[in-house]
Amino acid sequence: MKNAQINLPWLVRIKAGALQRLGLYLARPGLTPVGLFHSEGLLESILNVARQSLRDHGVATALLHEVKEASIEEAVHLLNAVPSVCRALIGVGGGKALDVAKYTASLAELPYFAVPTSLSNDGFCSPQASLTLEGQRRSLPTGLPEAVVVDLAVCQRAPRMLWHSGVGDLSAKFTAVSDWKLAFQRKGVPVNDLAALMSDASVFQFMANPVSDEQGIQLLATALMLNGVAMEIAGSSRPASGSEHLISHALDMTGARQRLHGLQTGTAAYLVSSLQRGSHHERIGELFTRTGFWESVRKQPFSKEEWRIAVERAPSVKEDFYTILSEGDAWPEFARMIADDKALSGCFE
């Protein structure tokens, strides 16, 4: 059985100084004017570099918008605000602005340029947008961005906690792929081997050099991007999202104190991987020790009680989504680890 046609990004630039060339990337295929959406509170200096680059290459900005909330309501409002002359939409900044820009571009059927300024999760190049509808978080299909522009120098200046969040979200791929294979064994859910392989391989590449220097950030950006592409190839979120994401979604839904997505999914992946009994638990543990991941978690420890409730609800967060959490109550083992595992000391209160 062949996959239906998939659309992959036609421009990928992951290098230092890429932001200064943004205008060129749009000017070459004649994409002007554009709409530019950026994060609330994005450093003026970063926004100025982007805007100056557009001007330098004769790319007009027909709409400039600061994204304050990642909701479907906001995206629909923006869809009406996008001038009909716009030839492309650009999202510059963090998750919210990118999700809103990506979804609005897909509604408007315009090419979308993703320009993340930090690497806190794999959403910048995933085929879906995470937005709220009447306050409830939803994942909406969008297709992949047409272009991904990651300026390594800009990402390197982002707070370390955001980098840790990206590391956490990447580690979730180990547990996600294990869950996918389990769903195949138990329920016959088809596994796309190429997508699973890409997802796995990208993590190993980064793990060979898990540091936050320019090369390490390049590997992390590439790995997170390939995870998004793996989702598109598989036609599902399975390569990048398993039981660890169910726990994270449950935390978001149950009104737990907000933490960075990747700190939640990474910590959940560490716990879940111990239930999965493979070699992943040790690997994730080593990755987190080498990168100092737990330091960022300890800065704002999780609530054990909020996690207990989330773990209880997690199996029913998504319909027909078999994972290791479907096999029985995971909490007793998690509680034991939270109490005894030295790596987790100070991470929960």
Cβ burial of 185 (10 Å; 0-12, 13-18, 19+) is exposed
Please give the C-alpha separations between residue 46 and each of 38, 51, 151, 344, in angstroms, as whole numbers: 10, 9, 10, 36
Report the nearest approach of Zn ion to the CB of residue 118 (Å).
Answer: 14
Annotate each residue in 110-139 with x if it binds Zn ion (CB under 5 A) or - if it does not, as one string.
Answer: -----------x------------------
- Least gap, CB of 170 to Zn ion (angstroms): 9
Which residues sit opposite 61 in a β-bridge? 34
Residue 104 or 121 with smaller CB distance to Zn ion: 121
| Cα 236 to Cα 187: distance, rounded to the nearest angstrom | 16
Contact call for residues 130 and 103 (beta carbons, < 8 A) = no
* Smallest distance from Zn ion to CB 302, Å: 17
Q: Which helix (H) or strand (E) holds 66?
A: strand 61-67
Q: How far is the CB of 236 from Zn ion (least distance, A)?
A: 14
Nearest to Zn ion of 106, 128 (CB atom): 128
Nearest to Zn ion of 92, 167 (CB atom): 167
**CB nearer to Zn ion: pick between 51 and 102:** 102
Report the candidate in 72, 113, 80, 76 with the shortest Cα–Cα distance to residue 96: 72
Show the site string, 27-46: x = touches Zn ion by CB under 5 A, - = not.
Answer: --------------------
CA dihedral 176, 93, 260, 9 (to 10 degrees): 0
169 binds Zn ion (CB under 5 A): yes
Nearer Cβ to Zn ion, position 47 or 170?
Answer: 170
- Could you give the count of Cα atoms lying within 13 Å of 9 in the half-sphere of its Cβ? 25
48 or 136: CB nearest Zn ion: 136
For residue 186, the minimal CB distance to Zn ion (Å) is 23
Nearer to Zn ion, 49 or 240 (CB): 240
Q: What residue number has its CB nearest to Zn ion?
A: 169
Part in contact with Zn ion (CB under 5 A); list of ranges 35-43, 82-90, 215-223, 264-272: 264-272
- Sign, Cα dihedral of 201, 205, 208, 209: negative
Stretch that binds Zn ion, among 14-22, 56-64, 67-75, 161-169 (CB under 5 A): 161-169
Q: Which residues contact 168 (CB under 8 A, 6 or more apart)?
A: 260, 262, 263, 264, 265, 266, 267, 269, 288, 293
State how far the Cα of 106 lies from the Cα of 144, in Å rounded to an integer.
9
Q: By rule CB under 5 A, what count of residues binds Zn ion?
A: 3
In angstroms, what is the minimal distance from the CB of 124 to Zn ion? 11
Identify residues 282-341 at the interface with Zn ion (CB under 5 A): none
Please check whether residue 114 is in contact with residue 142, taking contact to mean a CB–CB distance below 8 angstroms: no
What is the closest distance, in whole angstroms, from the C-beta atom of residue 196 to Zn ion in the complex? 16
What residues make contact with Zn ion under the rule CB under 5 A?
121, 169, 265
